[in-house]
Structure 1
Amino acid sequence: MTTTGADRGAVGAGSAGRSWWWWGRRRGVVLDVSLAVVSALECGLEGVGFAQEASLPVPVGVLFGLVVGSVLLVRRKWPITVVLVSIAVTPAEMGFLMGIVGLYSLAASEVPRRFTAGLAGMSTVAVYIVTMVRLRQDVAQADVDQQDFDPSGWYVPVVSLFMTLGFNAPPVLFGLYIGARRRLMESLRERADSLEQELSLLADRAEQRAQWARQEERRRIAREMHDVVAHRVSLMVVHAAALQAVALKDPQKAVKNAALVGDMGRQALSELREMLGVLREEVPAVVPVAGLASVVPLAAVGRAAAAAAEAAAEGGDGGDGGRQGGAGGDGPCLDALEALVEQSRQAGAVVELLVTGEARPYGAEVEQTAYRVVQEALTNVHKHAAGARVVVRLAHREAEVAMQVENGPSDATVADADLPSGGNGLVGMRERVTRLGGVFVSGPTEAGGFRVSAVLPVREAAAAAS
C-alpha cells in the first residue's frame, strides 16, 4: 500500500471520530469520488467507439469503460494500479482523465522514484505509439481526400512526440513538485515538533536550575547571616556574663563591658536590618520568555544581601576592623584578623595570632573565606570552650594560604556562657572552603581541645571567583 504525504498528515486530524478508509478527510473522499465518476462517464462514452471497432456489443463496451474509469477511485491508495490500467487501455483510446490524474498521483506519492520513472516512461511510450498510429491514419485519410497534401517523413513522429509530451509531462512534473512540497512541509513540521520538545526540555531544565539556584541562595544567605551575626551575638553573651560577674566587684570594668555589649548589640541590629532589607526586595527568579524559563541569577540577590550585611558588620565603630584594602574591598579581609582577635581578647579569651610568610593581597573570595573560617572558629571557642587558650595561625605560601585555629581544653574555673548551637558552623566553613577548591579538616586534639584547619589554593580560588 502506498500513501501520499498529505494522506499521512491528515490521518488523525479529520478521522479522529470517523473512519474514511484510506482517506484522511471528507473532502478527499468527495474529490476522488467526483473524479472517478467523471472518469467512468468518459470511459463509458469512449467504450462505444471501442466496441464498434472491436465488433463488440455496445453495452459491453460501455460497461467496460465504466469499470475502467472507476479505478480512479483508488488513486491515493494504489497509484501504480491506476497508471497500469491507464497504460493497458491506451490502445483502446480510453482513459484520458485517468491517465493524467494517475500520473500526477504516482509522482506525488511516496513510491520510489525508479518506479515512478519506469511507469511514466511506459505510459509515454504507449501514448506515443497510439498517437503516432492514429495520426498516421489521419494523415493517410487526408492524403486520400486531398491529393495536394504531401506531408514529409518527420511530420507524424514530431507531432506525435509533442502531443505525447503535452499529455504526460505536465501531470508528472506537477506531481513531483507537489510531492516535494509535501515532504518539505512534513520535514518542517517534524523539525518544529522536535524543536518544541527541545524547548520543553530546556524549560524544564531551566526550572530545575532556578530551583537549584534558589536552594543554593537560601543556604548561602543562611550561612552569611550565621557568620556575620552569630559572632557578635556570642561576644555579647560572653560580655554579659562577665558584666554579671564583675558588676559588684569592679564597677569600672562593668561599665566598660556594658559599653561593649551595647556597641555590639547596635552593630548586630544594624546587620540584621540591612540583611532583611535586601531580602525583602522583590526580584523575580524565573521569567517566561518565548516558551522558555529564563532564570534571573539569584546569586546577585545573595551577593547584594551578603554585601549589605557585611557592610553593616564591618562598617561599625571598630567592629571587625572595617573593610581594609583586601582585594577589591567587597568584604572582610585578612588585614582585619588582628581586630577580630582583639575582640575575643576583650571578651576574656586568651588568643595568640601567629602569621608566617610574606603577606600579600589575594582575591576577594579567598580573603573573605579565610576571615570567616577564623571568625567562626573563634565563635565556636566562645560557645564550647570557655576560658580555653586559643592559637590562631595564618600561613602565606607560594600558591595557597592556610589558616588554623586550635584551642586547648576549656577552663573549669570559667563559667560556661551556655550559648546555643545549631550545629551548622563547621558545615558552613566546609562549604565555603570546598567551594573554592580548598581542603578543610576539623576535629579534636590529643590534648582535649579542638582544631580547625583550612587550606585555600590561591590560583584555583581566583579562577572559581572569576
Structure 2
Amino acid sequence: MRIRPLAVDALIAVALTTVAVLLGQESVKQGWPELDATGYVLVALVNLPVVVRSKAPLTVLLVVHAVCVVYITAGYWPVVNTFGPMLAVYTVASLRPLRVSLPCAGLMCAVWIYAGLVSENSVMASVIGQAAGFSLVLLRFGYVARQTAELARQLKREQDERARREVAEERGRIARELHDVVAHHMSVISVQAGLATFVFGSDPATARAALGTIAGTSGEALEELRRMLRVLRAEGGEHDGEAPAAPMPGLARLDEMVERVRAGGVTVELRVTGTPRPLAPGVELCAYRVVQEALTNVLKHAHGAAAAVELAYRSGHIEVSVTDDGKGVIPARVRTGSGHGLLGMRERAKLYGGTISIGPLSEGGFAVRLTLPTSARAAARGDDASE
C-alpha cells in the first residue's frame, strides 16, 4: 500500500513535536525555565506546521522561524525547537532554486545566532560555527535532493517519449505489414473476380481457373494475417498454446508471387543472378515486400503491362528491381513516390540500411530499384528488426 506524502509529513510533524516536548522536560536540568502552557503551545506552533511543508515550503519556513523567535525571546531553552526550523530549511532547498533557498538558510543561521546572543554562558564562536555549518549542510542536502528529483523527472519524460516513439514505430510496422499483405492479395482477387464475372457464361474453364486463383490467394492472405497476428501476440507476451508462427515470407517465395501476378493477367519475368545464399530474415522480408508492392502497383495501375523482376546476389549486398514496359496509367501519387505503399518501401529500405529509387524511366515505364547490404553487421540488424 502506497503511503500518501501528506500522511508521511503528518507523522514527521508528530515525531518532531514529541521529541521537542521530551526535550522540554529537560529544561530545568539544563538551567532553563520549565515549559509552561505557553511554552508547549509555542513548541507545537514551531513543529506542527511542517505537516504542509511540501505544499507551502516558504510559508512554513517563515511561520516556523517567526514563532521560534518568539519562543527564544520568551526565555525558553532554544535547543527544544531545533529540528522544526532545520527541516523547513531542507524542504525549501529541496523544492526551490538556490536563489530562494540561500536566503532561507541565512534566516535560520540568523535565528540560531540570536538564540546564542540572548543565552547566558554561550560561546559565540561555537554558536556561529554551528549556525553556519548546519545551514550549509541542510542547503547542500536539499540541493542534491532537488537535482535528484529533477533527474528522475527528466528520465521519466525520456522514457515516456521513447515509449511513444516505440508505439508509433510499431504501429507503422503493423500498418506496412497489413498494407503489403492485404493490398497485394486483394488486388489479385479483384482482377480474378472481374475476369470470372466477364467469362462466366462464355468460357467456364477460364472462370473456374480464376475462381481457383481467388481461393488460393485468399487462403494465402488469411494465413499471412494469422501469422502476423501470432507474431504480435508473442511480442505482447501472450501465450495461448498456439503453434509457433510460420516463417516470414522471403526471397525463396518470389516464384509463388510471380505466378500469382501472372494469374492476374500481367506478364512477369523473374531473373535471378549470382549465387543465392541465406540472408537475415529481416533483409529477405524487406526485399520480398518491396517486390510485392511494386508488382501490386503494376497489377492495379498497369494491367496488361509486362513486368520484369530481377534479383542479383552480390558479395556484400543484394539488388532487386521491378520494371514495367510503360503500358497502363500510373497515378500521380505513384509516379511521384508519395503513395502509402511507396512510402512504406522507403521506410523499409532505410530501416535495413539500404537505398531505393522509385520513378518513371526515360524510355517509358516505371522502375523500383532496391539495394540492401548483407554484411554480418547488417544481417544482425535485420534479425533484430524482424523479431
2:128 is aligned with 1:106: yes
Verify the 8 A CA contact 1:229 1:271 in the aligned structure 2: no
2:24 is aligned with 1:24: no
Provide the residue aligned with 1:115 in structure 2: none
Provide the residue aligned with 1:190 in structure 2: 143
Aligned AA for 2:160?
E
Provide the residue aligned with 2:199 in structure 1: 246
- With over 3 angstroms needed to count, the CA separation of the structure-2 counterparts of 1:433 and 1:79, relative to structure 1, is closer
| CA shift for structure 1 position 428 | 0.5
Provide the residue aligned with 1:351 in structure 2: 268
Rounded to whole Å, the distance in 2 between the matches of 1:439 and 1:428 is 13
Provide the residue aligned with 1:77 in structure 2: 110
Q: Which residue among 163, 181, 185 is the counterpart of 1:228?
A: 181
Verify the 8 A CA contact 1:337 1:371 in the aligned structure 2: yes
Describe the superposition over 1:343-363 as per-residue Cα deviations: whole angstroms up to 9, x where unpaired.
Answer: 112222111111111111111
Rounded to whole Å, the distance in 2 between the matches of 1:365 and 1:247 is 42
SS at match of 1:387: coil
Provide the residue aligned with 1:395 in structure 2: 312
Rounded to whole Å, the distance in 2 between the matches of 1:431 and 1:461 is 16
| CA shift for structure 1 position 204 | 1.2
| CA shift for structure 1 position 28 | 4.3
Provide the residue aligned with 1:209 in structure 2: 162
Rounded to whole Å, the distance in 2 between the matches of 1:78 and 1:347 is 92
Aligned AA for 1:366?
V
- With over 3 angstroms needed to count, the CA separation of the structure-2 counterparts of 1:222 and 1:82, relative to structure 1, is closer
Aligned AA for 1:430?
R
The total of aligned residue pairs comes to: 291
2:345 is aligned with 1:410: no
- With over 3 angstroms needed to count, the CA separation of the structure-2 counterparts of 1:372 and 1:278, relative to structure 1, is closer
Q: Which residue among 403, 411, 432 is the counterpart of 2:348?
A: 432
Describe the superposition over 1:312-370 as per-residue Cα deviations: whole angstroms up to 9, x where unpaired.
Answer: xxxxxxxxxxx6xxxxx4x1111111121111122221111111111111111111101
Aligned AA for 2:290?
V
Q: RMSD value over aligned CA atoms?
A: 3.7
Rounded to whole Å, the distance in 2 between the matches of 1:106 and 1:443 is 81
| CA shift for structure 1 position 219 | 1.1
TM-score by length of 2: 0.65
| CA shift for structure 1 position 272 | 4.4
Provide the residue aligned with 2:39 in structure 1: none
Verify the 8 A CA contact 1:333 1:371 in the aligned structure 2: yes
Rounded to whole Å, the distance in 1 between the matches of 2:130 and 2:367 is 82
Rounded to whole Å, the distance in 2 between the matches of 1:27 and 1:348 is 94
Rounded to whole Å, the distance in 1 between the matches of 2:174 and 2:363 is 36
Verify the 8 A CA contact 1:355 1:393 in the aligned structure 2: yes
Provide the residue aligned with 2:366 in structure 1: 450
2:286 is aligned with 1:333: no
Rounded to whole Å, the distance in 1 between the matches of 2:111 and 2:381 is 66
| CA shift for structure 1 position 383 | 0.7
- With over 3 angstroms needed to count, the CA separation of the structure-2 counterparts of 1:76 and 1:256, relative to structure 1, is closer
SS at match of 2:169: helix
Verify the 8 A CA contact 2:217 2:260 in the aligned structure 1: no
Verify the 8 A CA contact 1:15 1:25 in the aligned structure 2: no
| CA shift for structure 1 position 202 | 1.0
Provide the residue aligned with 1:360 in structure 2: 277
SS at match of 1:362: coil
Structure 2 portions without partners, runs of 5+: 1-49, 79-106, 330-337
| CA shift for structure 1 position 253 | 2.0
